Amino acid sequence: MDLTNPVSESAEFLFKSRDLPEALGPMTVKELRQGLRRGMFIYPFIGIHVLAVVAMAAEFKMQEVEKFTEFAGVLNLLLFLPGGMFSGVFWAVTGAVCLLFMPLGGLALMGQELEEGNHELLLMTPLSRWKVVRGKFLALWGLCLLTFSSLLPYLIVRYLIGGIDVWRNIAMALTVVLFSGMMAAGAIGSSSFTRIAARIGILILFMGSMLFSLGTVALATGVVTKHAGVIFHLNTLSAAFCYLTFGLALARSRIRLVVHQYEIKPSWMIIGLLIFTPFVVLMATFMTFFHAGGVGLIGMGLLGWFADRSPKAPKWVQAPAANIPGMAPPTGVPGSQPPAPTGDPPPLPPGPGPGAGEEKEGE
């Protein structure tokens, strides 16, 4: 046995094979390693299974689990709430945990980087601001999807029992996937503020703007088309694109190191977009006769994507010469000085002797 190498090669291979793949990115791997050990994942994961068992037992005793509706589409949140479109206790529990409770765990993700100044060290690496924010978002969203995917056996049991609309359940599953991502993006953007009151306020603004815009386009197209068809889904998917972009752009703008005097703070611009987007959606809805309010959402999403552009010099501009003492700058570079002469300095001219001043005074 080699005492200098206490870990055998087989154990090292087993450890690496169980580790997360590097293709996910360094930030995603870091957050997943920490998130899988945190209570924000473990306790909701256990709790949602306990609640799912209770919900299944409650549905067994119900005569009608799902109520038929023509508006069973993606991102129709009324399917999760008690009322005329209610889809059962199981989906109510799933929505409460995966759509609301778990994404709110992201309210602490960006704060730990900003309060300790870690974002400055991260940006000194090849990681860009988008990569830092995207890694945290994918980790939080991945935990939500991992929790939801563990509930697939319950969905199969509900289908085998009967009385379940297949398309309706597929649409609700896609709603969990998309809306949990929207909430995760909003939580990460809100977590980039240092004060708790600011985080809560920004999250309330984000959710209010998102729900109003989503409800406007969904209600308008539903009233006109009388069902959740292609136009309905195009409008709701545009809301997902818009607010995913807003949440990530807000978090990205907060870790910018330098804001010039002539620039408006990028975070203020994103907050302004959150305020004015519902008005733009209303205007686009009326202008398109209640058919394409999502055009306004797409436009505002693109505006949020390009609102925070880091100033960069054109590619044809060459970098200035290095100004390092003792190092000759390269020749041929515009603006560079000629190299300093090397070698020993020239000797100083001989000065007067030590007694020259005394002799002059004696004369």
Of the segments 21-30, 62-71, 189-198, 310-319, which one has the largest average pLDDT value? 189-198
User: Looking at the domain assignment, is residue 41 inside a domain?
Assistant: yes
CA Rg value for the chain: 31
Domain coverage including residue 57: 18-305
User: Looking at the domain assignment, is residue 239 inside a domain?
Assistant: yes
User: Looking at the domain assignment, is residue 284 inside a domain?
Assistant: yes
For residues 235 and 218, is the Cβ–Cβ distance under 8 A? yes
User: Looking at the domain assignment, is residue 36 inside a domain?
Assistant: yes
pTM for the full model?
A: 0.79
User: Looking at the domain assignment, is residue 269 inside a domain?
Assistant: yes
What's the whole-number mean pLDDT along residues 27-44? Answer: 73
Between CA 144 and CA 48 the distance in angstroms is 11
The SS3 of residue 71 is coil
Q: What is the per-residue pLDDT for 360? A: 47
How confident is the model over 135-184, as pLDDT tens digits? 889 988 998 999 999 998 888 888 887 778 888 999 999 999 999 999 99
- Which residue in the block uniquely carries the two structure tokens 């807000």? 250
For residues 336 and 323, is the Cβ–Cβ distance under 8 A? no
User: Looking at the domain assignment, is residue 346 inside a domain?
Assistant: no
Q: What is the per-residue pLDDT for 9? A: 56
Q: What is the DSSP string of 117-135?
A: THHHHHHTTT--HHHHHHH
Name the percent of the chain in helix, strand, coil, to the closest 5: 65, 0, 35
C-alpha dihedral sign at 304, 307, 313, 314:
positive
What's the whole-number mean pLDDT along residues 4-24? Answer: 55
List C-alpha distances in Å: 361 to 142, 351, 355.
Answer: 94, 18, 10
Residue 87 above 70 pLDDT? yes
pLDDT band at 355 (very low <50, low <70, confident <90, very high): low
Number of domains within the chain: 1
Q: What is the per-residue pLDDT for 128? A: 81
Residue 295 above 60 pLDDT? yes
Indicate the burial class of 176 (C-beta count within 10 angstroms; 0-12, 13-18, 19 or more): buried
Of the segments 56-65, 121-130, 279-288, which one has the largest average pLDDT value? 279-288
For residues 206 and 246, is the Cβ–Cβ distance under 8 A? yes
Selected residue with higher pLDDT from 314 and 3: 314
Indicate the burial class of 169 (C-beta count within 10 angstroms; 0-12, 13-18, 19 or more): buried
User: Looking at the domain assignment, is residue 339 inside a domain?
Assistant: no
Closest CA to 249 of 129, 158, 103: 129
- Between CA 45 and CA 233, with CA 102 as vertex, the angle to 5 degrees is 115
Range scoring the smallest mean pLDDT among 118-127, 144-153, 192-201, 230-239: 118-127
Q: What is the per-residue pLDDT for 349? A: 67
List C-alpha distances in Å: 82 to 7, 56, 139, 170, 217.
Answer: 57, 16, 31, 19, 22
Q: Which residues of 124-136 are buried (b: 16+ CB within 10 A; e: fewer)?
A: eeebebebbbbbb
User: Looking at the domain assignment, is residue 261 inside a domain?
Assistant: yes
